[in-house]
Amino acid sequence: MSYQVSPVGFVRSCFKEKFAIPRQPQLAPAARGVLELVAPFDQGEAVQGLEQVSHVWLLFLFHQALEDKPRLKVRPPRLGGNTSMGVFATRATHRPNGIGQSVVKLDKVEPGRLWISGIDLLDGTPVLDIKPYVPYADIVDAATNAIASDAPPLIGVQWLKAALQQAQGHAQRLGEPLVELIEQCLAQDPRPAYQVPTSEREYGVRFWDVDVRWHYPEPGMICVLEVVPAG
Ligand code: SAM
């Protein structure tokens, strides 16, 4: 048996590639985007009342990780990428039906547009449904998860003076908290856990329309080298 679903909208996100997106929502409050609703949901009626809500659940498709053959076990990056686990014990992107869920902050509501932050969503992500967060039902005080008990530890992020000035300039141009976005995402230490970075090795990612480059001057410390218009 199969059912058909279709997106109610698509996310325009600060994240232009999968690399360096936080593993869960809320880890980078400066990660912002706009959920653009499609017809018929782009009419004001569909979001009437939503301005009374601070956070929403988004159900979405991992559109850049869809696979034909379902996996029963996955290797979550959180466990270093070399321990496998039942797919239903994880929030891995490779999963049956490719459905993700994130609680995000709702900053502004307009007919056809929701301004959201604290996102972990790639640009272009198709959203299947939007539901208000209901604190009395969704907060579970007694909940435990021994696989992911705490937020991932943060590492230090420092800047070359010129890189910070570049980021501040682009932040002003974009009207976005770009310095905070870079600090919050890089503090999650986005490199694959199996890679031990030498100080010569440079990493890069695109946020909005800029390329950010960094290296690890010492283990557990990032230095941002450059923030330049995307090439
Ligand atoms: N909070 C969601 C959940 O629990 O279902 C997503 C968790 S998943 C571990 C987060 C990762 O999904 C991000 O780090 C990013 O690399 C990836 N991602 C986000 N949007 C995606 C998309 N549209 N297609 C494929 N991967 C995506």
Stated pTM of the model: 0.96
Q: Give the H or E element holding residue 184.
A: helix 178-186
Parts of the chain belonging to CATH 3.30.2310: 156-229
CATH architecture classification, 9-138: Beta Barrel (2.40)
Mutate to test the pocket of ligand 1, among 18, 19, 186 (most ligand atoms within 8 A of CB): 18
The answer to whether the beta carbons of residues 101 and 33 sit under 8 Å apart is no
Q: Ligand 1 within 6 A of 172 CB?
A: no
Residue 180 burial (CB count, 10 A)? 15
CATH code of 156-229, in short, is 3.30.2310
pLDDT tens figures, 149-168:
899 899 999 999 999 999 99
Any idea how long the chain is?
A: 231
Binding site membership of 62 for ligand 1 (Cβ less than 6 Å): yes
H/E stretch holding 183: helix 178-186
DSSP type of residue 205: E
If you search the block for the tokens 């956070």, which residue do you land on? 55
Query: Using 50, 70 and 90 to split pLDDT, how confident is the model at 112?
Result: very high
**Nearest atom within ligand 1 for CA of residue 122:** 20
Mind listing the pLDDT tens digit for each residue in 51-60?
999 999 999 9
